[in-house]
Amino acid sequence: MIYCGPYGVRAYPLDLHTVSMTLQAKKNDLKSCYLVHGDPWEPYVSMRTVRMDKIATDDSFDYFRIIVKVPSRRVRYVFLIDKGKKQLWYSEMGLTPKKPEVGELGFPYFEILNNRKDDVFIAPEWAKGAVAYQIFPDRFYNGDKTNDPPNIKKWGKLPLTRDTFYGGDLHGIIEKIPYLSELGIDLIYLTPIFSSPSTHKYDTTDYYQIDPHFGDLKTFKELVKKCHENNIKVILDGVFDHCGYNFWAFQDVMRKGLKSGYVDWFNIYSFPIKTRPKPTYETWGKDLWWMPRLMTENPEVRRYLLDVAVYWIKEAGIDGWRLDVASELGHDFLREFRKAIKKTNPDAIIIGEIPHFASPHLEGDQCDSVMNYPFRQAVIDFFAKGTINAEEFDARLAKIRMIYKEPVNHVLYNLIGSHDTVRFLSLCGNKIEKMMLATIFQFTYTGMPAIYYGDERGMVGGSDPDCRRCMDWGELKGQKLKLFELYKKLISLRKAHPALKTGEFFTHFVDRKDNLYSYLRRSESQEILIVLNNSAKTCRVAVPSPKSWAGTVIDLLEGGKYEIVRGKIRASLGPYSGLILKTA
């Protein structure tokens, strides 16, 4: 079983003169693989043969990759594969024992012709490896008690219902910018801040008005300005798939029925409109009457929402959008959304909430990034619950990376928790050492590590609304202080070492029996080795030394020691601990 077509994630341009080629083959089926390539207009005999590197293995496939320079912006190519006992050629004609020949009607080869700028995936440079921080405004910090909603709960009391208010606001976030800056945050993502009757604000009443319990436009502009002064980007949550029951256009339809000029903005099943026992209109979720769905295929709806998105970039200077339920917005809408946003600010980012693999949304014409939920599940299963071993964990990661083009992997929003999920520490059974090890991995892996507010302070919580507790601003002690200091240390290491931020990822060593996991992050000038012991016992580790060994300790986490013996790094790692070494 072999595959590499001339499109998608297996063959694509990195820039106008560079192409990435990846061949996918049945696991352990190929001894080696070569790419034979050349310009389609050059003589047939001038084609070059280069060996491809095996870069990843998942539960079913091996992946071989090579990066090829194509000065002419055209490339013709075929694969020579070595199965040990025989060699075969793989082209668009399939597998053949003989090298394909030039035919009368063209070449029986794959071809990538005329690479153009719109074929290249381009995400904002600042986003590559950036550290993100998600804030649920009502629960972060109350900085202005004059705008508190009525009957707010005492800060810190558990939210027993989903409609509990605590008074967190934009002034509170402004007051805590020094905290975020000290932590090392590059980007804050705010869940919805527009006018809405709920605490979560995913039922928007007015997309042009800041909810008065959070502040006003002036306050929000001050927040963005002060964040920018501290080199922190700000993105907002765009809830464009649906609105709130009190949204002006829906209320117009409620009043006027079929005579409303906005009746086609929604999918109304029958009139008069009713909310119970079941709504007579399409909603987000199952019969959630307070969230009518917007028909984003309607040109008027689309124009309105694009104007909203552009307005907040121009008026307040935000740095992009996180799109709620982006998987339900439609590809055509997302393409127009991207054009409008990038025309306004080419450096703005678009992050889609898509709970599954999202390759179609990341071809360069829609989103820049997505919330990487498959990553989160792998981290939960390996570190928090221990339901998979190191080999299975590595296979899961490989599958995720191979689903996407390599430039995409550097900007994926790698979360381990959010306002919609159980807190990660709770999933760990409140064992902070497990969370610390998962955090070491999250911040040394490729992509954008994302912190859900309070995770760095050891906050716990079950399903919504419990995962939305008030931020704990109390004094940190013991294990929680160690966790907080670890976050600061890892972010600092990430900023100081380019390989940790934007370097390529390579599996180095996997021991499924003892759950030892080792990997490399490699940039042009630097190589860093990470070794993790995901077990409850102290382990003696013997990891093969990387070829380019310099032996500089960046950090020996949670004690332990190491030495080099006959080409191997021998380390003693305590339970749930790790070693980070700079090898070149």
Q: Which residues are catalytic?
A: 324, 353
3: nearest Cα among 74, 92, 136, 124: 92
404: nearest Cα among 367, 352, 359, 371: 359
Q: Using the 8-state DSSP alphabet, how is residue 519 labeled?
A: E
Residue 188: phi, psi to the nearest 5? -110, 135
3 state SS for 26-61:
ECCCCCEEEEEEECCCCCHHHCEEEECEEEEECCCE
338 close to 311: Cβ distance less than 8 angstroms = no
192 close to 204: Cβ distance less than 8 angstroms = yes
174 close to 181: Cβ distance less than 8 angstroms = no
In a 10 Å sphere around its CB, with 0-12 CB exposed, 13-18 middle and 19+ buried, how is residue 241 labelled? Answer: buried
470 close to 137: Cβ distance less than 8 angstroms = no
Q: How far is residue 550's CA from residue 3's CA, in Å, rounded to a whole number?
A: 38
264 close to 302: Cβ distance less than 8 angstroms = no
Q: How far is residue 265's CA from residue 416's CA, in Å, rounded to a whole number?
A: 36
Tokens (6 digits) for 545: 């030394």
Q: How far is residue 573's CA from residue 433's CA, in Å, rounded to a whole number?
A: 13
Residue found under tokens 């055209």: 74
Q: How far is residue 117's CA from residue 187's CA, in Å, rounded to a whole number?
A: 27
Q: How far is residue 161's CA from residue 166's CA, in Å, rounded to a whole number?
A: 12
Residue 509: phi, psi to the nearest 5? -160, 135
- Spatial neighbors of 8 by CB under 8 A, at least 6 apart, are 359
Neighbouring-strand partners of residue 292: 283
Cα distances (angstroms) measured from residue 31 to each of 57, 61, 64, 304:
14, 13, 11, 56
Q: How far is residue 578's CA from residue 94's CA, in Å, rounded to a whole number?
A: 45
Return the axis-axis angle of helices 331-344 and 299-316, rounded to nearest 10°.
30
Residue found under tokens 């002690």: 477
Helix (H, G, I), strand (E, B) or coil at 342: helix
18 close to 73: Cβ distance less than 8 angstroms = no
**In the chain, helix, strand, coil percent, each to 5?**
30, 25, 45
132 close to 186: Cβ distance less than 8 angstroms = yes
322: nearest Cα among 355, 377, 376, 369: 369
186 close to 131: Cβ distance less than 8 angstroms = yes
